[in-house]
A and B are shown apart, each in its own frame.
Chain A
């Protein structure tokens, strides 16, 4: 019996390992989803499933300050994503398509922020803001500036790798087929680089939404969602945090899956030729 079980595992080792890794990765999400239905009104200081309730989902904004913090995080996330993706994409184009003085240095300097420990970057930014006289105005805008800064590096790296894999003959073919520079960009280059830009933007948003260390150092009195969760964890985490957590997870999953479905459908070719 045991031998046969061993054989079975041997045969299915890869599959078994893969499923175990997946379970390991998704257990936290499962627990978060489960806890979002937890009625914790009786013992608030125990992170333990008591009884099932819809209350948390019906009143997600019940804990004081949580939804405000969420709003700050989402606004900063969207704004920093927009600005960083724009600047980063342009920088990636410049780095891949043009040979200019200082290109190698530029590449290195764009990589550096990714390799710098967040605590170092956060504290040096704080020192900079204070030195520049913004010590009293730390808050939304200083967080935004910080997030744009670290996001640019990630966007450049992501878009650059997509661009580097793009056959430059495609653009030559487009211009050979009567497309001017503008048409070549919008009809050929952009559609082909777009998946890279999109994944860069998604990455930038989640990095910004997530960030605690740099944000905490440069936030003044502003509270972002991760800071709220951190603060709440000192006392007792309101179960509504799990609602937000589950929502974010579901949204991310939906975006990824729909992207995958769309690209598969596109690969199959459209039914109509025109």
Chain B
């Protein structure tokens, strides 16, 4: 049986566990199904276990416990060269002594294809490298090398293509261009892509499904929209974008089914949060609201949100970014929250520092998280 003709299917990780000899547990009993043909991202900070997971799938790292299947085929302990899986390495790992064409034909030749000329041509055209075929890797730019790494893996038509921070070494502009490019190629070839990254924007723009990993576990898995708008933990809320977290106490429930809401008291004002967006059973919780969902209005003017608004807040900082403005607002209880406002021109200027404002938001955008979790979890320092 030729490897690439293997029974294609979903990539299934069952109870996958990795413990290093020094006792460090990199991956904790991971259960994950990645549907065939999807673009899947493993997102998390460095050291969260995402790369270790990827290397276990590639066979470059031993599995401590658990199993890995592609369709019905178990590959948990198979040698790397016997797996229908290929990897795009973080620093590309192109063979420096071979030309681009030789690099790309390396895989097919090892699998006994004597003359892979046509498929090499095809894949070089797909990745726009035809001109570079007879050059050596060191003669190419970073972006070109990245595409060679991709072509070298793609030509084998693996059941699963693993990408380990593939755009990490590129500058911002090139990275944006390659994100679009990668997505286009994935759609064109229809293979399963598993993409490891610490860049939340990269994961969200490219992947159909994102799994947010932290300390060897998956914190939450879902479509980018779902993850961003309805995070289940403070880590996910902070790691994907920014979030205002306000302490609240559950005071009651109303309605039933899809309309069920949980009433939460925050420093005297009661907010309603949809039951499907409540992720704690405790009496205390963090009320989460994204900065761009926060609405502010100078005291006394009407605010475009139903229900109660929080009075007595003061603008303490304004940073104008052109397309939008960031306001820092001190709440009556001393906490500072952030509000991003699009500069639509509706306001006809900025709200000056020191202005007293009312704060509100549409109730369907808020979420409630476990107050036992660290409100600072997952906050990334800007670099």
Contact = CB atoms under 8 A, between A and B. Distances in A.
Q: Which range holds the interface residue count of chain B?
A: 35 or more
Given A167-B91, A269-B135, A269-B139, A179 B97 contact: no
A273 B120 CA distance: 11
A269 B99 contact: yes
A270 interface: yes
Interface string A237-274: 00000000000000000000000000000110111111
A1 interface: no
Interface in A168-183: 169-170, 172-180, 183
Contacts of B138: 267
A191 interface: yes
A169 B89 contact: yes
B91 A188 contact: no
Interface stretch (B80-88, B262-270, B280-288): B80-88
Nearest to A184: B81
Contacts of B139: 269
A173 B89 contact: yes
B60 A176 contact: yes
A266 B99 contact: no
Nearest to B87: A176
Contacts of B102: 273-274
Nearest to B3: A178
A183 B93 contact: no
Q: Is the interface of A mostly helix, strand, loop or mixed?
A: helix
25 contacts: A167-B91, A167-B93, A169-B89, A172-B87, A172-B89, A174-B106, A176-B85, A177-B106, A177-B156, A178-B3, A178-B81, A178-B111, A179-B110, A183-B110, A187-B106, A188-B95, A191-B97, A192-B96, A267-B136, A269-B99, A269-B134, A269-B139, A271-B134, A273-B99, A273-B102
B133 interface: yes
Nearest to B58: A176
Contacts of A180: 79, 81, 110
A270 B80 contact: no
Contacts of A188: 95
A167 B135 CA distance: 20
B35 interface: no
A170 B98 CA distance: 12
Interface of A: 167, 169-170, 172-180, 183, 187-188, 191-192, 266-267, 269-274
B71 interface: no
A35 B99 CA distance: 48
A172 B133 CA distance: 23
B101 interface: yes
Contacts of A175: 59-60, 79-81
B311 interface: no
Nearest to A268: B136
A260 B138 CA distance: 18
Given A179-B106, A272-B134, A273-B133, 7 more contacts: A167-B93, A174-B106, A176-B153, A178-B81, A267-B138, A269-B139, A274-B117
Interface in B308-349: none
B118 to A, nearest CB: 12
Given A179-B81, A269-B136, A172 B60 contact: yes
Nearest to A172: B60
B79 A270 contact: no
Contacts of A266: 97
